[in-house]
């Protein structure tokens, strides 16, 4: 399977940007035990077909390609998040987890009719959370009562909930999110509008959400997805996405024990550029400015959430 292929008779979404081939070696040396805590696998479509209800069709991005990137960048482990193009069919995710030989954990997507036996199988493979997607352009909105049923089923396993939403929708979802009894991980800081003031009311609502709910964590990832003015993580740029830095740095410094970071490889649905993942790693010291903060962000926090007591 070559870079950029989409196998299994599927056709890529027109204009799809394939992941960056041949990323640079990061200048920033990751601490031992570092975890890429947000990444995906796509297919391969010939082996793990894309879901009929998907909103996009990507190029394939296999477990082998993900693990090659992990080793190239210097990460020790991955957290693989179920991609929306696979819906609630977690076979590609489970396959990747089993291939990882214990070096990956997973976040699955499940439906309200999931059985205890199915959850036990996912747990055995390495799944430790479920993801709820509230981004309207990516999925059809799932009723909150069905999500409450799912949370009741996964809570006894010690799993957590990952939520993906956009900043403008937080006021309407605030009370529901605050009612989730498990640990909650927010993808990409709730997608703030970085053209606004990081001290302004919109981002302050997100910070208040974290202050009021000590079970809430967040990923300070995807600057390439949030940035408006850049510069981009391409062509050796060592200070990429500076417009995102004040938002992410504030979260890292205020909540150092509840932050995670990941590459988001293979970067689904990017529209204007595809970042060099080596330069994305070089972005990290801009938002976690000390060795202590880097250790917590990249090693201690994901270890505590996904591999407690070394399990």
Active site residues: 264
Cβ 84 vs Cβ 138: under 8 Å = yes
- Tokens found for residue 259: 């932050």
- What are the DSSP calls for 158-182, one per residue? T-EEEEE--GGGHHHHHHHHHH--S
- b/e burial code for range 184-221 (CB count within 10 A of at least 16 → b): bbbbbbbbbebeeebeeebbeebbebbeebeebbbbbb
How far is residue 220's CA from residue 222's CA, in Å, rounded to a whole number? 7
Q: What is the DSSP letter of 21?
A: S
Peptide bond into 231 cis (omega under 30): yes
How far is residue 57's CA from residue 50's CA, in Å, rounded to a whole number? 7
Region of residue 104 (left: phi > 0; alpha: psi -120 to 50; beta: else): beta
Contacts 24+ apart (CB under 8 A), 175-178: 176/144, 177/209, 177/213, 177/216, 178/209, 178/212, 178/213
- How many helices (H) and strands (E) the chain has is answered by 11, 8
């Amino acid at each position: 399977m070559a870079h950029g292929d989409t196998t299994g008779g599927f056709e890529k979404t027109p204009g799809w940007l394939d992941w960056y081939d041949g990323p640079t070696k990061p200048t920033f040396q990751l601490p031992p035990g570092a975890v890429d805590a947000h990444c995906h696998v796509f297919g391969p479509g010939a082996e793990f077909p894309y879901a009929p209800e998907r909103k996009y069709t990507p190029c394939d991005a296999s477990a082998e390609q993900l693990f090659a990137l992990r080793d190239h960048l210097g990460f020790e482990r991955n957290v693989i998040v179920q991609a929306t193009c696979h819906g609630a069919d977690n076979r590609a995710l489970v396959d990747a987890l089993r291939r990882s030989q214990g070096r990956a954990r997973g976040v699955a997507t499940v439906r309200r009719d999931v059985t205890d036996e199915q959850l036990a199988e996912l747990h055995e493979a390495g799944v430790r959370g479920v993801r709820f997607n509230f981004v309207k352009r990516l999925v059809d909105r799932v009723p909150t009562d069905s999500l409450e049923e799912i949370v009741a089923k996964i809570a006894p396993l010690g799993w957590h909930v990952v939520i993906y939403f956009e900043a403008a929708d937080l006021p309407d979802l605030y009370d529901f999110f605050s009612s989730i009894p498990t640990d909650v991980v927010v993808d990409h800081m709730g997608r703030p509008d970085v053209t606004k003031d990081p001290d302004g009311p919109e981002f302050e609502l997100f910070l208040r959400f974290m202050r009021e709910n000590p079970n809430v964590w967040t990923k300070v990832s995807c600057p390439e997805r949030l940035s408006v003015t850049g510069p981009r993580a391409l062509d050796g740029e060592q200070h990429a996405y500076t417009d995102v830095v004040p938002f992410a740095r504030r979260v890292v410094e205020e909540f150092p024990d509840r932050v995670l970071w990941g590459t988001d490889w293979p970067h689904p649905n990017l529209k204007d550029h595809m970042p060099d993942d080596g330069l994305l790693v070089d972005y990290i010291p801009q938002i976690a400015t000390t060795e202590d903060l880097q250790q917590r962000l990249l090693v201690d926090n994901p270890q505590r959430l996904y591999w407690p007591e070394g399990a």
